[in-house]
A and B are shown apart, each in its own frame.
Chain A
Amino acid sequence: MVRFVVRRLLLMMSIMLVVSALTFLLLEINGDSVVVKVLGPYSTIEQRNIWLDVNGYNLHPFVRYFSWLGNMLTGDFGESIRYRAPVIDVLLPRLASTAILAALVFCVMLPLSIIAGVIAGMREGGGVDRAISLVAVFTTSIPEFASAVLITYIFVFKLGWFSATSAMQSGFDPMQLALPALVLIMFGFGYVARMMRASMADVMDSNYVRTATLKGMPFHRVVFKHAIRNALIAPFTVIILQINWLLSGVIVVEYFFAYKGFGALLLEASLTQDIYLLQACTMVSVVVAVMTQTIADVGYGFLNPRVRVT
């Protein structure tokens, strides 16, 4: 087990290194394009040359990569062009607001979709199963931006229950979290519920559940004592990887509802070519993604010892 965990951690490190090198190649390698973004298109050649010299862009790319990586690791992401402030100061509050949104989404979506999946998979092919599966396909088929539009249309314009934006201009307001969270929950619900249902249906088909039923155990005890615990193992990875998917989902939702979070910041940085901010956002999202993947793998290894060998 220790060897398995260590190998996963080493793999995680190496993937992060490769991804950081790719990010560097994509955004940072060409000093001339960086300087245009920082100083603007109307800077003179001399200004650009001086800037490149002062900021070490004329050094060997290898040296530059490692000093860049070192800066990243110590949290020195450079200065945002747009906000005229250190990137880290811009980034942290945005990450915190996204964390709040994501936590809310998880706390509601996971229990809801797991329960729905268990109920549907408990009696495969039954009426309840059909109904839940149908709802699940519907909610995953509506892209986040479309459901955001439709939900806004219903709850804001028709019913007038919420405000259309979640910019939180006058302090934190939990009411403004409701619509963005609802959109994310709808899209994620169907996926997790379907996975849970498939796994539950598999387990209900297995020999030990049949044995338990045949020895006369009441149905609810079969479900609670034998089925659910094993049915939770397979979707575990998918559930953890939902964090990754949330990173994508928040870009759309935060943009739509003008919520001041990490996703909106990343989009803004890429649209305004705010290069250091964009680098930092990319690296943060990759680190989060790779870490959740490692947690999913290691956790799965704990739950299902058979995969540890490979």
Chain B
Amino acid sequence: MSSIPQEPVAPANVEVDSQAAPRRIRMPALLYSPVGVIGASICLFWIITSIFAPLIAPYSPTAQIAAFQPPGTTTANGMFFLLGTDHLGRDVLSRIIWGGRRVLFYATIATSSAYIVGVSAGLVAGYFRGWVDDVLSSIANVILSFPILVLYVVIISTFGSSGINIVLAVTFASAPGIMRIVRAVVFDLRNREYVTSAQTRGESAMFIMFVEILPNTNSLLVVDACLRLGYTTITIGVLGFLGLGLPPPQPDWGGMINETRSMALFAPYMIVSPCLAISSLVLGLNFLADGLRESSSL
């Protein structure tokens, strides 16, 4: 019925084509889409800085060195701060790099965990239909009827804010949307010949769902995963900004903005850089999704 989730950047564009089978994404084809290449490069940039954060970051993200240094200053003892330091004297560049690592880590874990739950539920609902589908779909309906950020705020403020709670909250809130997409594709795929032939061979339902059907949903799911990863990044940022995010003193982008925004009038550089960081990562993911969508319909 109301098949559109409430997230601003979510599905909608991944409408299921009931006629054609979802085509597989050919990776080299991505190279022909300029938008996709730009998106992939931005994502790759953040992935590399996160993986090699200990090597790239000039200082420790929690070391208090010299407070309120504007960007590009060199102190008397020869320390250089490209993006300046914050009110506690921590190097902003190092915090951006380490914060990116933390944000990307939790966003990936949370999105993957939402996918594991959502895809399994969608496969089961779409393959077995009947009462199983009814039960799973009505659970999904109830969860999706909460305004999404209200759900996060209520869950996190009730159970406390920690990495694991954020992962659980994101899983709880986004799995139903993923389930609906998978379910709709499976409805279409379950009558295909290769499924029927697997059934005739006597394969188990598990085998058919995960080996025969799942690989054929991949182009839709890859595009959706990019958009969702971006949305989860925003969510983690928003929670950090509202003071409900990953606990300090380790940095995360939303938290950095929240901690230093009262000083925005005289030291705007402290909040402008995390803003640009999170916007560029989400933009990269959205571009990548666009590129993948284009190249899968080539």
Q: Do A and B bind each other?
A: yes
Q: Which of B9, B153, B257, B283 has the most CB of A within 10 A?
A: B153
Q: 1/0 contact trace for A159-171 toward B, CB 8 Å?
A: 0000010000000
Which residues of A from 218 to 256 have beta carbons under 8 Å from B?
237-238, 241, 244-245, 247-249, 251-252, 255
Residues of B within 8 A of A238 (CB): 4, 12
Known interface pairs A146-B275, A267-B242, A271-B157; A138-B283 also in contact (CB < 8 Å) = yes
Partner of B148, one of A164, A194, A248, A255: A248
Residues of B within 8 A of A19 (CB): 142, 145-146
Partner of A145, one of B4, B8, B150, B237: B237
Partner of A251, one of B150, B158, B237, B275: B150
A266 an interface residue at 8 Å Cβ cutoff?
A: yes
Known interface pairs A137-B283, A141-B230, A152-B264; A245-B150 also in contact (CB < 8 Å) = no
A308 → chain B, closest Cβ, in Å? 11
A195 an interface residue at 8 Å Cβ cutoff?
A: yes
Which residues of B from 215 to 253 have beta carbons under 8 Å from A?
230, 234, 237-238, 241-244
Q: A interface, by DSSP: helix, strand, loop or mixed?
A: helix
Q: Which residue of B lies closest to A134 (CB)?
A: B35
Known interface pairs A248-B147, A271-B157; A150-B237 also in contact (CB < 8 Å) = no
Which residues of B from 1 to 37 have beta carbons under 8 Å from A?
1-2, 4, 6-9, 12-13
The answer to whether B257 touches A247, judged by C-beta atoms less than 8 angstroms apart, is no
Q: Which of A11, A146, A188, A198 has the most CB of B within 10 A?
A: A146
Residues of A within 8 A of B4 (CB): 237-238, 241
The answer to whether B1 touches A297, judged by C-beta atoms less than 8 angstroms apart, is yes
Which residues of A from 255 to 271 have beta carbons under 8 Å from B?
255, 266-267, 270-271
Q: Ordered nearest first, which 4 A-B pairs have the shortest CB separation? A: A248-B149, A270-B157, A141-B283, A146-B275
Interface residues of A (CB under 8 A from B): 8, 11, 15, 18-19, 22, 26-27, 137-138, 140-147, 149-150, 152-153, 157, 164, 187-188, 191, 194-195, 198, 237-238, 241, 244-245, 247-249, 251-252, 255, 266-267, 270-271, 273, 278, 281-282, 285-286, 288-290, 293, 296-297, 310
